[in-house]
């Protein structure tokens, strides 16, 4: 057999094997994340009512502090919905990603239910995008990405704020620009 035919077949086999590996990694079930029950919070309660823009500023501050080592930038915008923006680099191509979420309060924590995903002009299933984001971004331990459920769970009870105080969500009504939180200050 001609040496050029052998070289071509080896190259074609390598390309097919690489594509099959990438496809497998994108479609394989990731780690199963289970929600832990919220930490018990007791103490004096301070009720806080805020707007979406103020909550966005607070969320950005905590995300920035918690994700200093993350290789993929994640931007959050809170308006009528919660929007996450990021960029993934695949085969030296930067793909802009926009994910739209509707927040729901569950046991004082926030569940972000994915409504839509936009990856450039590609039509990619939402669970694949969430899996890619989860693999690429080193989220803090209080954020759990659940690709199979198409949601992100934000465990507010695990966020440390000043002097051991904790936060829990009471209501998130983005269309009316109203977010109610409780700050629980422990008894000393």
Residue indicated by tokens 């990603």: 97
What's the pTM value of the predicted model, to 2 decimals?
A: 0.75
Residue indicated by tokens 């990619």: 124
In this prediction, residue 40 carries a pLDDT of 62
Answer yes or no: are the C-beta atoms of 59 and 78 closer than 8 Å: yes
In this prediction, residue 69 carries a pLDDT of 66
In this prediction, residue 27 carries a pLDDT of 60
In this prediction, residue 104 carries a pLDDT of 94
How many Cβ atoms are within 10 Å of 176's Cβ, its own excluded? 8
In this prediction, residue 159 carries a pLDDT of 84
Paired residues of 154 in beta bridges: 110, 143
Give the residues of the chain that fall short of pLDDT 70. 1, 22-41, 69-72, 188
- The secondary element (H helix, E strand) that includes residue 136 is helix 126-136
Can you read off the two tokens belonging to residue 140? 């803090």
């Amino acid at each position: 057999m001609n040496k050029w035919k052998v070289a071509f077949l080896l190259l074609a086999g390598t390309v097919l094997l690489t594509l099959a590996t990438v496809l497998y990694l994108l479609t394989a079930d990731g780690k199963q994340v289970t929600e832990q029950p919220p930490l018990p919070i007791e103490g004096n309660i301070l009720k806080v009512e805020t707007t979406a823009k103020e909550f966005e500023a607070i969320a950005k501050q905590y995300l920035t502090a918690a994700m200093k080592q993350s290789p993929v930038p994640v931007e959050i915008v809170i308006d009528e919905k919660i929007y996450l923006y990021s960029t993934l680099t695949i085969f030296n191509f930067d793909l802009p990603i926009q994910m739209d979420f509707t927040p729901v309060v569950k046991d004082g924590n926030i569940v972000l239910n994915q409504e839509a995903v936009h990856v450039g002009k590609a039509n990619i299933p939402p669970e694949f995008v969430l899996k890619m984001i989860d693999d690429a971004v080193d989220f803090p331990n209080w954020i759990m990405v659940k690709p199979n459920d198409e949601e992100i769970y934000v465990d507010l009870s695990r966020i440390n704020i000043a002097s051991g105080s904790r936060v829990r969500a009471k209501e998130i009504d983005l269309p009316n620009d109203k977010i109610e939180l409780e700050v629980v200050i422990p008894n000393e």
